[in-house]
Amino acid sequence: MSLYDLAVKMEMDGEQYYLELAKNAVHPGIKAVFELMAADERKHYEIVSNIISGSVHFMEGTSLDTLKSVFAKALENKENLEMPEHAFEAYNKAAEMERRSIDFYRDAYENTKSDHEKKILIELQEEENRHLMIVENLAEYVRRPEEWVESAEFNHMMEY
């Protein structure tokens, strides 16, 4: 299996995992976040497929501002963001998947000679970094909800 074939499988697995998390999400806002992340994984799949076919271009993923707005809206509406205990393990698994993707794209970057592919691989790595930050923040929220929600801005969600 080639490097890019593995990337295609990894992105398909990521999409399916986020769709499963969305299906099991209790809160509509959390469901929306996972649906957006699944859509991003689908875009990554298409990007890598394009690299394989020789027509390389990058498609922008979901912005961090869009994801933040889901939580801000929930707070404005005073929605309950409680999550079941098993969510912590699910988010930790998602974080581990994102870490593997980051490592994978870093290695692919180091092994490609094409400047254009390098640019795409850096973009993919940055997208996966954003996903990692999101799932780590969700895991932290499940662990300590009263400390996590400080304001509608979610200041600990850093910009990349």
- For residues 137-158, average pLDDT: 58
Query: Contact 78/24 with Cβ under 8 angstroms?
Result: no
The confidence score (pLDDT) of residue 103 equals: 93
Per-residue pLDDT tens over the stretch 24-80: 888 787 888 889 889 988 988 888 888 777 765 555 555 555 555 554 555 455 455
152 — pLDDT class (breaks 50, 70, 90): very low
| 15 vs 160: which has the higher pLDDT | 15
Are 141 and 83 in contact, with CB atoms under 8 Å apart? Answer: yes
66-70, 118-122, 142-146: range with lowest mean pLDDT: 66-70
Domain ranges across the chain:
3-147
Inform me whether the pLDDT recorded for 148 exceeds 90. no
Contacts of range 115-124, beta carbons closer than 8 Å, 24 or more positions apart: 116/56, 117/51, 117/56, 119/58, 120/47, 120/51, 120/56, 120/57, 120/58, 123/58, 124/44, 124/47, 124/48, 124/58
Whether residue 127 has pLDDT greater than 70: yes
Pick the CATH number of 3-147 from 1.10.10.10, 1.20.1260.10, 1.10.3720.10, 1.25.40.10: 1.20.1260.10
pLDDT digits (tens, 9 = 90+) for 64-119: 555 555 545 554 554 555 556 667 788 888 899 899 999 989 998 999 888 888 88
3-36 CB burial, b ≥16 within 10 A, e <16: ebeebbebbeebbebbbebbeebebebbbbbbbb
Angstrom distances, CA of residue 120 to CA of 25, 34, 51, 110, 125: 31, 23, 9, 12, 9
Q: How confident is the model at residue 149 (pLDDT cuts 50, 70, 90)?
A: low
